[in-house]
Copies of this chain bind each other. A is one copy, B any other.
Amino acid sequence: MAKIDTPPGFEDFLPEELNARNYLFETWRKIAMRYGFVEYETPIIEFTDLYRKKSGDEIVSELFSFTDRGKRDLALRPEVTPSLARLASQNQRNYSKPLKWFEIGSCFRAESPQRGRRREFIQFNNDIVGESSPAADAELIAMLIDVMREFGFTSDDVKIRLSDRKAWDIFLAGRELPTDALPKFLSALDKLEKDPEGTEKKLGELGIDVEEVRAFIANPTAAAELFNPITDSLAGRGLADFVQVDLSIVRGLAYYTGAVFELFSLKGKHRAIAGGGRYDQLLALMSNGKVDLPAVGYAMGNVVILDLIRETAEPLARLEEYLTVKTPADIFVIVADEAERAAALSVVQKLRDADISTDFPLTPAKIDKQFKMAEKLGTKFAVIIGSEFPEISIKNLTTREETKTTSDNLIEALRQLLDAPDSQNLLA
C-alpha cells in the first residue's frame, strides 16, 4: 500500500504547531472567562436536518454527510450556531439570563481543498442569549476587541466594521420596493467594493441609484440611533478606537436580524478575522416556537488570526515567547553513576510529586551525552545524581553555575532557583 498522508485540506499539528494552537485556545478562553462567559461543547456530528432547518437544502452540498447503519442522515458540523440554538433552547430555563456562553472546537466544510482554506478548521464561538438590548452587542464586541488586545493588536492594526440590517430598512422605507427585494438589495450591496459596476447595474434593476447608497454609507446619521448605544458603551470602556460604523458590511447569512460586524486587518490582505451579529429569530425557529429568545454572537477561526499574528510585530513577539519552549520539563536528572539509578528514580518521582516537570535518560549513557540530551531538550537545570548521593549537584544549563544540596533540601533549592527571575515569589 502506498504512503498515506493526511487527506487534502486536513493538517497535522506537530508539537510546535500545537503550542501555537494552544496559545490561541488559552487566550480565547482567558478573555471569554474574564468577561464571565462559560464554556459548552456540542457533538461534531449532528443530524443533517439541523443544518437544513437553519439554512435550507442548499447547505447540504457544503457538508460532509453520510448515512449511518440506522439509516440516519448525519453531517459533520460546518458551524456551531445551530447546535447552540438547540442546546440553549432546550436548557435555558436552568440558567440565569442572559446566557454568556462560548465554545472552541473543530468544524468542517466539504469544499474542494485550496490554498489557505482548510476542510477542518477550529472556531471560537461566543454568544449572548436572552438579551435584546444593544448593550449585549456592545459587551460581545468589547470581548472581541479584548481578545485582539490580548494577542497584542492595537486599533492601528485592526478595526471592527459595524453595520445593522435595520439601517437599510430605514434607507429603503418609502421606496415602494417589492417585498422580496431586501435580500436582492443586500446581496448587491455585499459586492459594492469588489464589483462597483455590477452592483450599480443590480441596484439599478431595483430602481435604486448607487450614488444614493454611497451617500447613505458616507453619512449614516439617519441610522444613528441604531449604533449610538453600541458605540457609546464601547466609548465608556475606552474601546471606541477599534470600531467604525460601515453600512457596506452586510454578511451573507440570511439569519441576521440587526447589528452585524466584521473584524478586519487594516493591512487589508486578509479575509475577515471574525464576524457576527444579532440573530433574534433563530432560537424560535430551531425550537419550533417554544423558546423565543434574542441572541447575538460572533465566531473567529484559527487560520486567519494565526496568519495575522505571524505578520504583526508585537503579536508575533508574544507568540514566539510562548513557542520557545521545546519541552515542558524544567529539570533533567543526570544519572552520573548507574549504581545510583534507583536513587535517581526516587529523585525523579520526588520532583514530579512536587509538580516540578522532570525528564531523565531512560537508559544508561555517558555523562557528556546526558548533558547534551538536556541541552537539546532545553531544560533549565540539570540535577546530578552520582556516587556522592544523597549529596546532589544542581547545574544551571544557561549560566553553568553549579549549586550543591542534599536529597532532603532538593525541592526547596530548586524552587528558589526556578523562581529566582521573579524575586517576589521567593517570599511565597
Take A428-B425, A428-B427 as given contacts and tell me if A120 and B44 are in contact as well, using a CB distance cutoff of 8 Å.
Answer: yes
Contact of A12 among B14, B43, B237 (CB under 8 A): B43
Closest chain B CB from A356 CB (angstroms): 8
Interface centre among A52, A237, A345 (most CB of B within 10 A): A345
Q: Indicate if the CB atoms of A38 and B327 lie closer than 8 Å.
A: yes
Mask, A360-387, CB within 8 Å of B = 1, is: 0011000000000100110000000000
In the complex formed, the residue of B with least CB distance to A106 is B44
Contact of A341 among B19, B98, B236 (CB under 8 A): B236
Interface centre among A43, A349, A424 (most CB of B within 10 A): A43
Inter-chain CA distance A428–B424, complex, in Å, is: 6
Mask, A222-241, CB within 8 Å of B = 1, is: 00000000001100111100
Inter-chain CA distance A352–B150, complex, in Å, is: 11
Q: Indicate if the CB atoms of B86 and A349 lie closer than 8 Å.
A: no
Q: Which residues of B contact A237 (CB under 8 A)?
A: 345-346, 348-349
In the complex formed, the residue of B with least CB distance to A13 is B41
Question: Within 8 Å of chain B (Cβ to Cβ): is A112?
Answer: yes
Q: Which residues of B contact A175 (CB under 8 A)?
A: none
Q: Indicate if the CB atoms of A357 and B34 lie closer than 8 Å.
A: yes
Question: Within 8 Å of chain B (Cβ to Cβ): is A328?
Answer: yes
Q: Indicate if the CB atoms of A358 and B120 lie closer than 8 Å.
A: no
Q: Which residues of B contact A91 (CB under 8 A)?
A: 14
Q: Indicate if the CB atoms of A41 and B18 lie closer than 8 Å.
A: yes
Mask, A42-64, CB within 8 Å of B = 1, is: 11111101101100000000001
Interface centre among A4, A119, A128 (most CB of B within 10 A): A4
Question: Within 8 Å of chain B (Cβ to Cβ): is A359?
Answer: yes
Q: Indicate if the CB atoms of B4 and A50 lie closer than 8 Å.
A: yes
Contact of A68 among B43, B47, B110 (CB under 8 A): B110
Inter-chain CA distance A236–B338, complex, in Å, is: 13
Q: Indicate if the CB atoms of A15 and B39 lie closer than 8 Å.
A: yes
